[in-house]
Amino acid sequence: MGRDKKRSHRDDSSSSSSNFDHRKKHHSSSTTANPPPMSSQQKTGKHPAFVSHLETPNLHPKVKLLCEIIANTHSLSVENVLDDTGIRVSQEDVEQVLKLSYGFPGPAVKFFRWSGFQLNDKHSPYAWNLVVDLLGKNCLFDAMWDAIKSMKKGGLISLATFASVFSSYVAVDRVEDAIMTFEVMDQYGCPPDIVALNSLLSAICRDGKTAKAREFLRIAKDKIRPDADTYAILLEGCENERDVVSARQTFSEMVVEMGWDPKNVPAYDTFFTTLLKGPDGM
């Protein structure tokens, strides 16, 4: 198998934003020699460490080989190399390979397109969501939206798709873009309901930005009534940030909105834990 030299885990943006229409397949013999890729992306700032096939034991030989090709072949040539293997893939194979190829977005997208020919363009919704997540986590947002538009045509979009987008934007301090995404969800056939709102708030709070989540909720609740989960998410964010003042304010708002209800016991527990962790607590 004539593989190219190893290259960096981020190919040029044109490689990753290639058309998602599998029927427009084309090959190129061009190669580019770049620095060797890392098996997993080290944590730098807020960038995640990607798990690769190198850290995953007991992989099926076929999946391992496909991952190795993606990791070591430039995106311009990866489809040719895959063709040379003669490998046939299933939907499950595609999902497993994508999960382990986040560090190599360009070749991973080309693999996704290549495998689409074998599957008659019948990728699973989960595989599509992995592509969206993979591109978003690599900050390839234009390509990410291209994938979402393709999913819309196939009726494959779900809340999981947008939950991925929320987390990708928030992780790089683009909370406003995450909020704008929430506001256009309905254009993609996914209602911006309370479940979606909670997903957005959860992504914001997990990243240590609970104040921004609370700020947006004040606007959103004019159209969407918060539920017990909404306040539990905010209170958990306050707990993680040890923000007793915000926890008290959020708890008061919850009691006014929801009243006292045994269903809210987890939120009450979180609030009391925050108080205990605060300067006046234990």
pTM, entire model: 0.81
Residue 190 pLDDT > 60, yes or no? yes
Q: At what angle do helices 194-206 and 228-240 cross, to 10 degrees?
A: 0
- Domain range list for the chain: 1-154, 158-282
Cβ–Cβ under 8 Å, residues 5 and 33: yes
The percent of residues in the chain predicted with pLDDT above 90, rounded, is 67
Residue 101 pLDDT > 70, yes or no? yes
Q: How confident is the model at residue 280 (pLDDT cuts 50, 70, 90)?
A: low
Count each helix (H run) and each strand (E run) in the chain, helices first.
14, 0
- DSSP β-bridge partners for residue 47: 44
- For the chain, first and last CA: distance in Å? 64
Sequence-distant contacts of 17-24: CB under 8 A, at least 24 apart: 17/140, 17/142, 17/143, 17/146, 18/75, 18/109, 18/110, 18/113, 18/143, 19/146, 20/109, 20/112, 20/113, 20/146, 20/147, 20/150, 21/150, 22/113, 22/114, 22/116, 22/117, 22/121, 23/121
Q: Which residue has the higher pLDDT, 19 or 12?
A: 19
